[in-house]
Structures are given as structure tokens and as C-alpha cells.
Amino acid sequence: MSAAGLAAFDLTGRRALVTGASQGIGLALATGLAAAGAEVVLNARDAGRLSAAAAGIAGARTLPFDVTDRAGVTAAIDGFEAAVGPIDILVNNAGIQHRAPLQDFPPEAFDRLMSVNVTAVFTVAQVVARHMIARGRGRIINIASVQAALARPSIAPYTATKGAVANLTKGMATDWARHGLTCNAIAPGYFDTPLNAALVADPGFSAWLEKRTPAGRWGRVEELQGAAIFLASDAASFVNGHVLYVDGGITATL
């Protein structure tokens, strides 16, 4: 690739807000975006854990808020834009999981999953997008899941939320592309993260996953960084409404 082509991936001068960034995939994505030149702003609810995470990324800022609190989201983002400057890239990563047989699934757990995994994606994107629309540019990356396309026992509500994220992403692109925004999603397969700690610790599940996945292993969170850099950069200027599966081939085969 020519130097000009590589320059399209450079995020120098851009600012990226990553939700759920104190650990796991969110922290890995923030680290990758920073390595590509972006100034990163880490979000989570726990200010202490957030500060500890940001200490490992040169120049990182923190912006604590609860993604399920619309008033708090609005105050934090509007205040940041006014005091510091524009958010050029949003990575909607915050999410939770709850496992139980569907017939026994607690209604309050279902509601919580929808609030964090779906409603918060809408809320944070809408608040950030209003500023992006006014500037005529912006990048939104929502974190979906391989469960947007596939289901497994005990996680039907989670599967529903990630399917919603995938289609909400397409809706965002449909409404906002005309304003200069690109809105895409990354759908990770099975990655070794705190959210999957119980599965990683289960030898039977890991053996099943290694057999089921063409790559034959769990994903490493660093392997999601390239997809995020691409979708955040000028190299993806005409990529919109796309769900990019990063899954070691698990959705490609039966």
C-alpha cells in the first residue's frame, strides 16, 4: 500500500469516546485507537477503575457516566463538547450479559439487558450524533456480537439485544449518512474477556469452541483493534450501515 493509502488510516487529530472502557474489549479498542493517533476519552461508571485504565494510555481522558441515565449522558457529553471540544468518533461498547434458561429468565434481568445493551446505544449515539450532525462529520461504531446472527442456550435475551444493535446501526446509517456520519458495527465472536470469564474457565466449553471455530481458538481482544481503526478512519469513508464480524470464521460454517 502506498504512503497515501496508509495515511487514510491515521487518526491523528481525532477524538474518540469509548463507552465501557475500563476493561476488556472497550479498553483494548481505546488502546488501539490511541495507537493510531486518536485522543481517547474513556467512559465507565466507576471513576476509580476508569482512571486506572486511562493511566496506561498516553494522553487519555476520562468521562465517567452511567450509559443508562439519559440526563447524565446528555450532561456529560454536552459539557465535554463545550469545555474540551468535539467528539469525532464514538465507540458504543458498554454491555452486560445474564445467563439463565429462557423459561426461568428473570424479567428484571431482561429489562436490564435491554436498558444497557440497546437503549443506551440509542441514547449515547443520539446525544453525540447531534453534535456530529452540526459539524457535518462523525464516526459511530457500535459493538454488536456474533449473537446478532446466532443463538446459544441460556442467552436468548442477550441475543435479542445484539440483533437489535445490528439493525439499529443500519437505521443510524440510513438517517445520518446524509449528514456526513458513518455508522457501523463490529460483531465480535468469542473473545477472552471478563464478560466471558465463566466460559473461558469451563474446559468443556472451550473445547467445544475450539472445535466449532475454524480458527480453533478464543479471540484476543487486540484482534479487534484493526477493525475499529478501519471503521473510524477515512479509509472507511463509504462504508456505512455495515456489521463487520470478527469471529475467527464461526459464522461462516456449520
**Hey, which residues are catalytic here?**
158
The residue type of 55 is: A
**CA atoms within 13 A of residue 81's CA, in its CB half-sphere:** 18
**CA-to-CA distance for 170 and 185, rounded, in angstroms?**
9
Cα Rg, the chain, nearest whole Å: 18
* 121 vs 181: CA distance, rounded Å: 16
Burial 111-145 (b: 16+ CB within 10 A, else e): eebeebbbbbbbbbbebbbebbbeeeebbbbbbbb
DSSP 235: G
* Cell matching residue 227: 477493525
